[in-house]
Structures are given as structure tokens and as C-alpha cells.
Amino acid sequence: MIEAIKKRIKIHFKAIVKYNKVAGLLVFALAPVLLTQFLVALPAVASVGSHLSRHESQRQSNMSQATAAAAAGAKTPQLQEGRTLFDENCSSCHGVDAAGSKLAPGLHGLGAGVVNLWVSSGWMPLANPGAEPARKPALFDLQQTNAISDYVASLSRGGIPILYPNLKGASVTEGFSIFALNCAPCHTITGAGDALSNGLYAPPLHGLTSTQVAEAVRSGPNNMPVFSTGVISKSQLKDLVAYVTKYIEHPDNPGGVGLGGVGPVAEGFIGLFVGVGLCLLVAFWIGDRTEKEEDKGHKKSETGVQHA
């Protein structure tokens, strides 16, 4: 009896080995990968939890400190409002009086322009500490944003002010040319934005205000380089801002659906799957149709046909 079972198992094992070599190899090859993935993921999940709780406790302590030191340097109602908003929304990471903490850098020396850019674009406040700054609807309205910016700027000297470029007499043509030279190498020529190497990316440039564009050019947020007046002069900045705010979305853009401005990838996709695909469907339709009708014809007349 046992002998027979042993024999059976042997046969089955042989069959499994014979027919599932490839599958077996794949499992053995993938198993360590999956295992390591799992092991890596475990502590990561755990650390996120602890990170969050640490952040929460720090936030609590910061808040109490902030209320204790309230109204110390707030001279005008605007600065007072900015200070309140900063303490409530920013100080948990950037520290009291924007001096910085373990979680985020201090903001001294940046000026109102940088703060205005980061807050108005929705980059700040972050979705959670440690998240990548991502474009999202701004948390504050214009007046609140300016209040925060002015408050942070009032804490130190230097940096760039909030910029309001005067677009009167700006040349879009010149702006297009400057854009192609300085911005298109990362943001692409259509301004659609794209992924750069090592996880960096250039965001799309659609729907920006002239203030945001000017501040980004002058301050270089994230991995973007700073373009100082030596590279892009004041009047050139005006032209550039005019192009980016007015024409990057190509208001007079004939020719039909734009396909996202990502170029031939989308076009090829449409050409192959819609163009050639529709033609194939038509071929299928025509070919099929004739087949059926002929069959009907054959049924009527085939009785007389002889086999060759």
C-alpha cells in the first residue's frame, strides 16, 4: 500500500517537474523578490505610523508655544493675521517664527515672493509631512496668502518680494523665444510638463498667474534652477510671463482635439488604434458582408455545380 502511494507521488512529482519547469523556475525566481518587497514594506508601514504620531505631538507642543508667544512681533493687523495663519498651518513643521525644525527648513531670508509662490500654488501646506509638494487647490485666498507671505518676510531680511509683472507692451513673440530656450528643455515646448530623471519632474505650466510665473523664474522652486536678472532681464521676464500666462494653453489653436500636447506618442496611439483600427473594422464589415450574401447565392445555385 505505502509502496503504491510512494510510486504515485513519484510519478506525480515527475509530471509536475516535467510540465511545470518554467512555472517552477518563475516561482523560485520571483519568491526572493516578493519576500524582500514584503520585508521592506513592513518597517516602512510601521515607521509611517510612528512618524505621524510624532508629528502630531510636536504640533501640539508647537501650538502651545505659539500661543504663549503670541502678539510679540505683530505690528499691523495684516501681519497679525499672517502670524495666526502661520502658527496654525505652517509652524508645526517650519517651527515657531519660521526658524525651522527637524521636519522642514527655516524660511528666513526667502522673502515674501517665495512663500507666496509655494502657498498660492497649493504646494504648501503639504498633504502630510514627508509628502512631495504637489499642485493642489490653494488652501488660502489671495489676502490670506499675502498675509502669510508678508509675515514670513517680516521675520528676516533678503529674498524676493511678491512680484507683479506689468504686462503692458510685452512681446509674446520674444516670450516664446525665451521660453523655447530656457523653459522647454524641462517643461517641454507645449508646457505640458514631464517626468525628469531620478524621480524629479517638471510640472505643467497651465493655469498659472503672472505672479506665480515670475516668482518661480526668480526663485527656482524645487529642482528648478534660479533665473536671475543676468540670465533673464526684467523686460525679458515680462515677455516670458506674457507668453506663459496667455499662450501656453494656445487659445487660438485650430485643428481639433489637442491630445494633451505630449506629441507623437498620443498621435501614434490614435493613428494606430483609431485610424488603422477603424479601417480594419470597415474591412471586416465589407469582407463579412460579401461572405454571407454569397453563401445565400450558393445555396440557391450550387445544386448544379460539379466537383472538379
Near other proteins in 166-195, by CB under 8 A: 171-173, 175-177, 180-181, 184-190, 193-195
Residue (190 or 211) nearer to other proteins, CB: 190
286-305 mask for other proteins (x: CB under 8 A)? xxx-xxx-xxx-xx--x--x
What are phi and psi for residue 195, nearest 5 degrees? -80, 135
Residue (139 or 266) nearer to other proteins, CB: 266
Size of interface with other proteins, in residues (CB under 8 A) = 73
Does position 253 interact with other proteins (CB under 8 A)? The reply is: yes
Q: How far is the CB of 37 from other proteins (least distance, A)?
A: 14
Residue (16 or 279) nearer to other proteins, CB: 279
Residue (2 or 305) nearer to other proteins, CB: 305
3-state SS assignment for residue 235: helix
Burial class (CB in 10 A: 0-12, 13-18, 19+), 184: middle
Does position 34 interact with other proteins (CB under 8 A)? The reply is: no
- Span from 47-55, 71-79, 82-90, 256-264 in contact with other proteins (CB under 8 A): 256-264
Residue (73 or 275) nearer to other proteins, CB: 275
Does position 28 interact with other proteins (CB under 8 A)? The reply is: no
Q: How far is the CB of 287 from other proteins (least distance, A)?
A: 3
Residue (207 or 275) nearer to other proteins, CB: 275
Does position 279 interact with other proteins (CB under 8 A)? The reply is: yes
- What are 57-66's contacts with CB under 8 Å, separation 24+? 58/92, 58/101, 58/103, 59/92, 62/87, 62/91, 62/92, 62/95, 62/96, 63/87, 63/88, 63/91, 63/92, 65/96, 66/91, 66/96
- Cell 507671505 belongs to 149
Among 4, 22, 33, 131, binds other proteins (CB under 8 A): 22
Helices (H), 90-201: 91-94, 112-120, 142-154, 172-182, 184-187
Q: How far is the CB of 249 from other proteins (least distance, A)?
A: 10
Q: Which of 239, 245, 212, 234 is nearest to 114 (CA)?
A: 212
Q: End-to-end distance of the chain based on CA atoms, in angstroms?
A: 65
For the beta carbon of residue 68, count every other beta carbon within 10 angstroms.
9
Taking CB under 8 A as the criterion, which residues in 193-252 touch other proteins? 193-199, 201-202, 243, 247, 250, 252
Q: How far is the CB of 223 from other proteins (least distance, A)?
A: 13
| Cα 36 from Cα 42, distance rounded (Å) | 10
Helices (H), 77-140: 77-89, 91-94, 112-120
Residue (105 or 258) nearer to other proteins, CB: 258
Spatial CB neighbours of 180, under 8 Å, sequence gap ≥ 6: 189
